[in-house]
Amino acid sequence: MSELKKFLHDLEDFELASFYHFRFNSFMKNSKEKILNELKSRNIKEYQIDKYLLKLNEKIELEIEEGKVCPKCYSDKFYNSTEIENITIQFETIRYSENYKTCLICLHSQDKIESQKEKNSIWNIFSVIKLLKKS
């Protein structure tokens, strides 16, 4: 069994629906077929995908707050990726690696968004200092 096929096979119905909903168009023909086959084997029709997507409720809201599920598709399947980030402060570029918890289903990463916010605010502090020095 191919890795994608196995991955799809192990998903819950709503996860498969989210996977289709968020990512189907980014796949090549071969992989698209595997996704469609998995839908077919579960008797989920493409036009009914929305019906399988989870609706936000109190329980899910709580789980999002606790970081247990993805805030975008509500799946609890995450992976950790380490990426090299650059931050440029006053002509100097600092490289560092950052761990991101990323959703396997829709690729949403709350960590990445938070870290981006942080990065922007660091940059803002430095640009303010720079501006103050100039005046």
Site residues for Zn ion per CB under 5 A: 70, 72-73, 103, 105-106, 108
Rounded Cα distance between 7 and 96, Å, is: 31
Q: Which is nearer to Zn ion, 5 or 72 (CB)?
A: 72
C-alpha–C-alpha distance, residues 78 and 97, integer Å: 19
**Dist CA 64 CA 72 (whole Å):** 9
Residue (13 or 126) nearer to Zn ion, CB: 13
Least separation, in Å, of the C-beta of 128 and Zn ion? 35
Least gap, CB of 77 to Zn ion (angstroms): 8
Specify the residue, 21 or 32, whose C-beta has the smaller distance to Zn ion. 21
Closest contact distance (angstroms) between CB of 11 and Zn ion is 12
Give the tokens for residue 120.
């922007």
Q: Give residues with Cβ within 8 angstroms of 120, minimum separation 6.
A: none
